[in-house]
Amino acid sequence: MITDGIVARLQAAFSASTPLDVANRNHLIVAVLYILSLFLVAVLSWLLWTSGNRAQDVVRAEANVRIADADSKAEQAKEGAAKANEGAAKANASAATANERASKLENDNLGLRTQVATLEKQAADAKREAATLGVAVANANQRAAEAQMRTAEAEANLVGMKRQLAPRVVEGSSKRYEELGLFAGTKAFIVYFPGDLETKTLAYDLRELLQKNESYIGTEVGGDWSVLGIEPFTPELMAPAAPYLAEGVHLLTTHDPHALMAFWEYPAYRAARILNCQLIDSGIESVVEVPTSGESWPQRVPRDAVLIKVGLKPQTYWEKRRGVQLWIRPKAAGESDDAFEKRVAEARRRSRESELDADRSRQEQRVRDKEQCREIIDEQRRARGKT
């Protein structure tokens, strides 16, 4: 064996004692050490090679895994790219469609803009025409309102004129006869405006209302008054009273200033109040004058009688017309037509307000008169034992 020879030689070398032996021994030791180092280097080289191969195997395996992973990701990337390309193709197709639609919409918008511009122009023209028509309608409405006002005024004037021209009429009724009958026996004397048929007719109608008509059987007609006379008005008839006969119907009575009884308690005055209310209810202008206490009383008329003076029908309609004319001054020099028309309208308005105020005052007075008449009638019924 080599090792056995080397060991033998080493033992022989260490046992020699000559210088040559020593030199050989040292040489041998160095050679042995060199051989051992070579062996050690070989072993280490083998180990290094083995370790390097294992490391390369591991690196190769890991590289293969990474390569496989990279290949898988590359395939996935390719699939994604394919899908992306497909989506891009679809997007391009959609974009092309959208561009086509946008172009179409833009063309449609251009057409719509043209139509809108035309419609806006037509609307503006229609607004201008509507404004013009509105002004025309407003003017027409104003003219229609003025025409209606003039028509209403003309109709009112026609009604007033017909009422003015219509004769005064007082009609009897059982209620009126009963109220006048509460003052049965009251003396009355009637005078009327001479030469006027309407006045004379009313005077005789009053006589029929006041005195009892015996020709009716089974019913009472008339108030059972005693009509002493009915004659046309003359100054001699009224003497020594003033020879004056006013418009409308005037009821006159007398009273004694030295008597304890107040004038409104006199039977003749109370009877005149009832007759006055009936005349007013018939639309006849009538007034009960304050009883006279002096000598100004017709000699032919008893002082306990009711003197009924029937004058001409009051010209209330024409007086109102004259009142309106008084409110309106003639057109002044340099005054415009509009200013004159406004002034006329204002004058008519003031006249109507004045008429309304007067009508309200008359209506309120008539209401008070009616209330007093009802009180007189109730008192007279109680006094005569009637209910």
Q: What angle do CA 171, 318, 161 make, to 5 degrees?
A: 50
User: What is the pLDDT of the chain when averaged over all its residues?
Assistant: 82
Contact between residue 270 and residue 183 where contact means Cβ atoms under 8 Å apart: yes
| 343 within 8 A of 328, measured Cβ to Cβ | yes
The DSSP code for 276 is: H
In the chain, % of residues over pLDDT 70:
86
So what's the pLDDT on residue 278?
Answer: 94
What residue type is assigned to position 36 of the chain? L
Q: What is the mean pLDDT of residues 270-282?
A: 94
Cα separation, 98 vs 216, whole angstroms = 111
Q: How far apart are CA 240 and CA 69, in angstroms?
A: 154
Using DSSP, state whether 84 is helix, strand or coil. helix
Quick check: 310 and 209 in contact, CB under 8 A? no
Q: How far is Cα 41 from Cα 202, in angstroms, rounded to an integer?
A: 174
* Closest of 325, 249, 233, 327 to residue 284, by C-alpha: 249
Q: pTM value?
A: 0.56
Q: For residue 231, what pLDDT is reported?
A: 96
| Residue 20: how many other CB atoms lie within 10 Å | 8
Which strands sit side by side in the sheet containing 286-288, from one edge to the other?
A: 226-232, 187-192, 306-310, 249-252, 286-288
**Pick from 222-226, 261-265, 358-362, 365-369: least confident:** 358-362
For 192-207, what is the mean pLDDT? Answer: 95
Highest average pLDDT, of 151-155, 256-260, 376-380, comes from 376-380
**Spatial distance between the Cα atoms of 36 and 46, rounded to a whole number of angstroms:** 15
- What would the pLDDT profile of 3-48 be if each residue is shown by its tens digit? 566 656 656 655 656 877 777 777 888 888 888 888 888 888 888 8
- In which band, very low, low, confident or very high, does the pLDDT at 315 lie, cut at 50, 70 and 90? confident
Predicted confidence (pLDDT) at residue 1 exceeds the cutoff of 60: no
Rounded Cα distance, 339 and 44, in Å = 139
Q: Quick one: which of 241, 317, 309, 240 has its CA closest to 275?
A: 309
pLDDT band at 324 (very low <50, low <70, confident <90, very high): low
Instruction: Quote the pLDDT of residue 17.
Output: 61
Helix or strand run (H / E) with residue 372: helix 337-383
| Residues 266, 290: Cα–Cα separation, whole Å | 12
pLDDT at 320: 56
Residue 148 pLDDT grade (very low, low, confident, very high; cuts 50, 70, 90): confident
Residue 192 pLDDT > 80, yes or no? yes
* Residue bearing the bigger pLDDT, 203 or 144: 203
pLDDT at 102: 65
**Average pLDDT score over residue span 310-321:** 74
Percent of the chain with pLDDT over 90: 32
To which residue do tokens 């070579």 refer?
38
Main-chain dihedrals φ then ψ at residue 307, nearest 5 degrees: -90, 115
Pick the closest to residue 222 from 279, 281, 283, 171 (CA basis). 171
Take residue 207 and report the two structure tokens written for it: 């006589």
42-90 pLDDT, tens per residue?
888 888 878 877 877 777 787 777 777 777 776 776 777 677 677 667 7
Of the pLDDT bands very low, low, confident and very high (cuts 50, 70, 90), residue 254 is: very high
